[in-house]
Homo-oligomer: A and B are copies of this chain.
């Protein structure tokens, strides 16, 4: 956790530092991110940096937590009343929201993805313990709720299914990312494409795990 000094900073300065950290981690990942580069971009002294944060890991964890907050804020309307929709509707909305969030916050997603991919990294491990398994957990919670309501078969391995659903989410985002790179053209088409794909997957999953066949 950042030190008190960091939170005592004028909020503009704090925001600037956070933004620089986001840029750095998005471009280089944790290992290759350079604190020297960050303080240069920030225009602050190295000593100051270490009066805000304990070490590199500290900045990173703070950055990750910000990302989590932002994503949660983005997704929370969806998850506010999960009982209002059936599992598959929710799932569909979450995929779409995820894609939209990625579209609007590419850097944040980039950082997040690196975490999901490097689960063996000491720093990343630390995160997975407390923080970022969230995604899986949310899906698993929804799955169980669906089972409870009788929408979903009770004999499935919820851990595995939620893992897969989560992975597919990431894969789908990545696939569209690469497709889009350099493609600044029509966003309406893009949206349509997404919808089709998402619908396809919802159908797939529905067929596999719903009680209604």
Q: In the complex, what distance in Å separates the CA atom of A175 from the CA atom of B158?
A: 12
Contact assessment for B157 and A163 in the assembled complex, using a CB-CB cutoff below 8 Å: no
Copies in the complex: 4
Cα–Cα distance between A197 and B110 once the two chains are bound (Å)? 30
Stretch of A12-20, A54-62, A137-145, A198-206 at the chain-chain interface: A198-206
- Docked-complex contact A167 and B171, CB < 8 angstroms: yes
For residue A167, which residues in chain B have a CB less than 8 angstroms away from its CB? 167-168, 170-171
CA distance A164 to B169 in the complex (A): 10
Known: A204-B208, A208-B203. A171 touches B163 (CB 8 A): yes
How near does chain B come to A129, taking the closest CB pair, in angstroms? 13
B32, B118, B164, B201: the one contacting A172 at CB < 8 Å is: B164
Q: Mark A140-161, 1 if CB is under 8 A from B, else 0.
A: 0000000000000000010010
A170 surroundings in chain B (CB, below 8 A): 167
- A: number of interface residues (CB 8 Å): 27
Q: Does A31 contact B (CB under 8 A)?
A: yes
Taking CB atoms and an 8 Å cut-off, the chain A residues in 107-150 that contact chain B are: 110, 117-120
Which residues of A180-213 have CB atoms within 8 Å of chain B's CB atoms?
Answer: 197, 200-201, 203-205, 207-208
| Docked pose: A178 CA to B120 CA in angstroms | 10
B-side contacts of A178, CB under 8 Å: 119
**Is the beta-carbon distance between B118 and A110 smaller than 8 angstroms?**
no
| CB–CB B204/A175 < 8 A | no
- Complex Cα distance, B167 from A50, in Å, reads 40
- In the assembly, what is the distance between CA of A110 and CA of B197, in Å? 30
CA distance A24 to B180 in the complex (A): 35
Known: A160-B197, A167-B170, A204-B208. 8 other contacts (CB 8 A): A31-B32, A164-B171, A167-B168, A201-B208, A203-B207, A203-B208, A204-B204, A204-B205
Which 8 A-B residue pairs are closest in the complex by CB-CB distance? A167-B171, A117-B117, A204-B208, A207-B207, A163-B175, A204-B204, A160-B175, A164-B171
